[in-house]
Amino acid sequence: MSGRPKIRLYVDHPLGKGQSVPVSRDHANYLFNVMRLGVGAEVALFNGKDGEWRAEVAQAGKRGGVLVCGAQSGAQVNPPDLWLLFAPIKKARTDFIVEKAAEMGASRILPVQTDFTNSDRIRQDRLQAHAIEAAEQCGGTFVPDVAALRPLAQVLEEWDAERALVFADEALAHSEAGSTLRADAPAPAAILIGPEGGFSDAERSRLRGLPFVVPIPLGPRILRADTAAVAALTLWQMAQGDWG
């Protein structure tokens, strides 16, 4: 068969030439009911570590099936060592942040609870599923891990000082400071984006006092948290990441 398979799926299973991959119930519904694929049809598979493989439907059932890997169709490509820390906001915007971070090439996504965070819980499994879906549709072979929600203070206590924390500080929006990410983005790094209420004064002074923290402005306007996340990821990727 020629051409790229239209369907790309993430599977939590080893991939390699001749490898059989069992089809989960959800995937069986999608592949064989919704998309109406039959035996012999081709899909592309990736598992986050073995690259992308073409696989043929060997068995198709209502609740399961089997795919068999043929040739490798893409090498494993891991993103640069860039994490995104963000304070969860409203559901749809939180989903957006996770989806965009996966597309933009964040290697880990860490929801953090800040002083003005409005939600005290997240659906980690649902957010992880969003990251998987984003990788499936953007052609990525890597899926960023979405961590459990933790208090920012605790994350800072355990921080590895080798990793710069690029702190998107809305208080710098009105200052003369230019973006330090333009020419000189630190790596490895993590970007920190606050909630709709921004950071508290206490958080801001604690963050500014930490040696690994690099406060940055994101222009003269106050961006919504989801916009700020994409903007900061873009800046870092441009200066230091895999866009060059």
Binding site for ligand SAH (CB under 6 A): 168-170, 172-173, 193-194, 196-199, 217-219, 221-223, 225, 228
CA distance 231 to 225: 10
Nearer to ligand SAH among residue 15 and residue 189 (C-beta): 189
CA distance 158 to 31: 43
Going from the C-alpha of 240 to that of each of 35, 140, 162, 178, 231, the distances in angstroms are: 40, 19, 16, 17, 14
Tell the smallest beta-carbon distance from residue 164 to ligand SAH (Å): 16
Nearer to ligand SAH among residue 16 and residue 178 (C-beta): 178
Tell the smallest beta-carbon distance from residue 85 to ligand SAH (Å): 10
Nearer to ligand SAH among residue 21 and residue 112 (C-beta): 112
Tokens of 125: 């499994």
**Residue 211 in contact with residue 161, Cβ under 8 Å?**
yes
Going from the C-alpha of 13 to that of each of 46, 47, 65, the distances in angstroms are: 9, 6, 14
Tell the smallest beta-carbon distance from residue 146 to ligand SAH (Å): 19
Tell the smallest beta-carbon distance from residue 62 to ligand SAH (Å): 46
Closest-approach residue to ligand SAH (CB): 194
Nearer to ligand SAH among residue 21 and residue 85 (C-beta): 85
CA distance 167 to 188: 14
Tell the smallest beta-carbon distance from residue 90 to ligand SAH (Å): 12
Nearer to ligand SAH among residue 67 and residue 192 (C-beta): 192
Q: Which one, of 69, 67, 78, 97, lies nearest residue 141 by Cα?
A: 78
